[in-house]
Amino acid sequence: MTPAELAEVVLAAAHAVFTQRGLDPAVLPGETTVERPRNPEHGDYASTLALQLSKKVGRPPRELASALAEELGKAPGVKSVEIAGPGFLNIRLDAAAAGQLARVIVEAGAEYGRSERLTGQRINLEFVSANPTGPVHIGGVRWAAVGDALSRLLRATGAEVGTEYYFNDAGSQIDRFARSLLAAARGEAVPEDGYGGAYISEIAAEVQARRPEVLSLDDAAAQEVFRTEGVALMFDEIRSSLRDFGVEFDTYFNEKDLHDRGELDLALARLREQGHVFEAEGATWLRTTEFGDDKDRVLRKSNGEWTYFAADCAYYLDKRERGFERVVIMLGADHHGYIGRMKAMAACFGDDPERNLEILIGQLVNLVRDGQPMRMSKRAGTVITLEDLVEAIGVDAARYALARYSSDSPIDIDVELWTRASRDNPVYYVQYVAARTAGVARQAAEVGLVRGDSADFRPELLGNEKENELLKALAEFPAVVATAAELREPHRVARYLEETVAPAYHRFYDEPACRILPRGDEPIGDGNRARLWLNDATRTVIANGLHLLGVTAPERM
């Protein structure tokens, strides 16, 4: 019996109690939940339904709890129900009901953990969005790992998600990038406000190989060639490095397209219609202070140039016009000040900033070796890049390390720790369970032990304390996935795998009474087969959880 199924049993019991006592069933919730008690001695699951209903019907919570306990005790699979405190229901399942979960998980396979919790939501998820003026740095890599994991979680809970990378390929930073490439091609010093690093020389050389005539052009024409070709090369490199990291976007959106298609004029017209645009000092402004911003924002300067904020407005409107109900943007710690102006901008368009726009802020990441932060990239010259991180600890470790912490917490990634083949290394610890469960399945096949047909599975044989503990751990997975998606916190999945499932499996595996494989010439029995179901159910949960984080579940280590 899964927690969701037990919750339905609890609600059905409540309906029966209300009918018997003449209480109004309209006050009953459409659904309820059960939780795993912190103390295993309190039972397998707990319900607070009696406490929730007592005020609505004017009955003492323990009186309602007593009636619910009596009715629940009649339900198949429920071993016992105890009342605790002011009206908590502590529920124990019999071994057969608890053990059924192993079959549910194995038969569900990759679908186990998925739900329809967010069905109907259309979400645009923008993350990374590094300027095409250099490789993806370690801060952007954090969003690559977290953003991709979040997109997987949102889809696993029924949302329709469009992932998006926004290239700022218009504006002054692109001018500085083009000047830097031209200077490198001519063997000149880096411009004072330009970009350095070996990658600039590499791209400049590639542009020259494509356009041999470039250095014979005048400065303006040469710079335009380096702008066009250089941005394209940098764009291709960023996409390639992210693809190698396991991250693909549904849409790669160029800022320049907003300008070329006249979308900034469209956004300005829409904002004028809403009555929030005004002229002052020769410039065009948006009155964002009406919606809590600390100052009004310039959309078009007195010289006629658009501001970055105007492009932000046009880009937001473009997403909404494409049918996305909720726009989620992931930004680095240095962009915290954007929240107020972006929320105000959404309100100026007539949207609800709390419903239509969500901004997530990620804190800094340091790569540490021998206790000291690594400061310089071999190639970029100023920052640690995606390639540096992958070279140091590998893709799986990098993705897991970046996703296992709340994104609003700064983190240090210790190279020595994350490359260690020991339980101290969190990703190794979790992946070891994936490999061990696969190894057990291989060994079982070698001795002729197979799970057999579903109809022959005997869940009541999974009655050992360690088996029950593992079953309860596996039962939590769907709720963990749903909560992680709703709270935008992929780290909940990582922590669940390493702190709940992995240790529970190890305790089960190490318990002599829970041996899966027969010893010597012992005959294969139903108990061996039942525990093989549980072993394979664990493999399913570990694999599904790691997949949500973009991490592999190896069969051998």
pLDDT tens digits for range 292-324: 999 999 999 999 999 999 999 999 999 999 999
Report which of residues 4 and 268 the model is more confident about. 268
Supply the pLDDT for residue 1: 76
Centroid of chain to Cα 268 = 34
The kind and range of the H/E element at 208 are helix 198-210
Q: Please report whether residue 533 resides in a domain.
A: yes
Q: Would you put residue 452 in left (φ > 0), alpha (ψ -120 to 50) or beta?
A: left
- Average pLDDT on 122-134 reads 89
Supply the pLDDT for residue 148: 97
Please tell me the total number of residues recorded for the chain in this structure.
557
Same domain, 104 and 49: no
Nearest CA to 286 among 327, 317, 332?
317
Domain range spanning residue 67?
3-93
Distance CA 475, CA 252 (A): 38
Neighbours of 390 (CB within 10 A): 18
Task: Tally the domains of the chain.
Answer: 2
Supply the pLDDT for residue 509: 96
Q: Please report whether residue 74 resides in a domain.
A: yes
Q: Are strands 251-254 and 160-167 parallel, antiparallel or unpaired?
A: parallel
Give the dihedral sign, CA 180/183/187/192: negative
Token pair, residue 311, equals 């492009």
The kind and range of the H/E element at 223 are helix 219-244
Same domain, 110 and 9: no
Same domain, 467 and 530: yes
Last residue within a domain, chosen from 31, 58, 93: 93
CA angle centred on 149, ends 145 and 155, rounded to 5°: 155
With contact defined as beta carbons under 8 Å apart, do 171 and 312 qualify?
A: no
Burial 344-363 (b: 16+ CB within 10 A, else e): bbbbbbebebeebbbbbbbb
**Residue 40: pLDDT band with limits 50, 70, 90:** confident
**3-class state of residue 431 by DSSP:** helix
Q: Which of 78-87, 121-130, 541-550 has the lowest mean pLDDT?
A: 78-87
Same domain, 536 and 436: yes
Supply the pLDDT for residue 120: 95
Same domain, 108 and 32: no
Distance CA 67, CA 50 (A): 9
Nearest CA to 146 among 119, 164, 128?
128
Same domain, 48 and 110: no
Percent of the chain surpassing pLDDT 90 = 65
With contact defined as beta carbons under 8 Å apart, do 154 and 118 qualify?
A: yes
Question: How much is the mean pLDDT over the chain?
Answer: 91
**Residue 535: pLDDT band with limits 50, 70, 90:** very high
Secondary structure (H, E, C), 325-392 = CEEEEEEEHHHCCHHHHHHHHHHHCCCCHHHHEEEEEECCEEEEECCEECCCCCCCCCCCEHHHHHHH
CA distances from 2 to 17, 387, 479, 493, 494 (A): 23, 43, 11, 19, 21
CB-facing half-sphere around the CA of 442: CA atoms within 13 A:
8
Same domain, 497 and 459: yes
Q: Please report whether residue 412 resides in a domain.
A: no
Supply the pLDDT for residue 173: 80
**Residue 374: pLDDT band with limits 50, 70, 90:** confident
Supply the pLDDT for residue 28: 85
What's 53's domain CATH number? 3.30.1360.70
Q: Please report whether residue 50 resides in a domain.
A: yes
The residues, any chain, with a CB within 8 Å of residue 546's CB and separated by 6 or more, are 430, 431, 434, 497, 552, 553
**3-class state of residue 120 by DSSP:** coil
- Average pLDDT on 462-483 reads 94
Q: Please report whether residue 300 resides in a domain.
A: no
Q: Which DSSP symbol is given to 48?
A: -
- Average pLDDT on 101-110 reads 95
Distance CA 229, CA 252 (A): 17
Last residue within a domain, chosen from 32, 62, 93: 93
Give pLDDT tens digits for 437-458: 999 999 999 999 999 999 899 9
The kind and range of the H/E element at 12 are helix 3-21
Nearest CA to 493 among 154, 43, 117?
154
Give pLDDT tens digits for 141-177: 899 999 999 999 999 999 999 999 998 876 678 888 8
The reply to whether the predicted model has a pTM over 0.85 is: yes
Supply the pLDDT for residue 381: 63
Centroid of chain to Cα 75 = 37
Distance CA 255, CA 170 (A): 6
Q: Strand (E) positions, 381-435? A: 411-414
Same domain, 439 and 526: yes
Q: Which DSSP symbol is given to 212?
A: T
Q: Please report whether residue 29 resides in a domain.
A: yes
Give pLDDT tens digits for 199-257: 889 999 999 999 999 999 998 999 999 989 998 999 999 999 999 999 999 999 988 89
pLDDT above 90 for 377: no
The kind and range of the H/E element at 285 are strand 283-286
Supply the pLDDT for residue 352: 97
Centroid of chain to Cα 29 = 29
Same domain, 51 and 103: no
pLDDT above 70 for 58: yes
Q: Please report whether residue 187 resides in a domain.
A: no
If 0-12 CB within 10 Å is exposed, 13-18 middle and 19+ buried, where does residue 256 land? middle
With contact defined as beta carbons under 8 Å apart, do 528 and 450 qualify?
A: no
Same domain, 447 and 433: yes
Beta pairing partners, 284: 279, 300
Q: Please report whether residue 400 resides in a domain.
A: no
What's 483's domain CATH number? 1.10.730.10
With contact defined as beta carbons under 8 Å apart, do 144 and 247 qualify?
A: yes
Single-letter amino acid code for the residue at 118: L
Last residue within a domain, chosen from 93, 125, 144: 93
- Average pLDDT on 405-415 reads 92
Give CA torsion, residues 17, 19, 20, 21, to 10 deg.
80
Per the listing, tokens 């300027």 go with 131
pLDDT above 80 for 127: yes
Same domain, 16 and 106: no
Percent of the chain surpassing pLDDT 70 = 98
With contact defined as beta carbons under 8 Å apart, do 240 and 288 qualify?
A: no
Distance CA 330, CA 164 (A): 11
- Average pLDDT on 351-375 reads 89
Supply the pLDDT for residue 4: 83
Same domain, 111 and 83: no
CA distances from 478 to 14, 31, 117 (A): 24, 16, 10
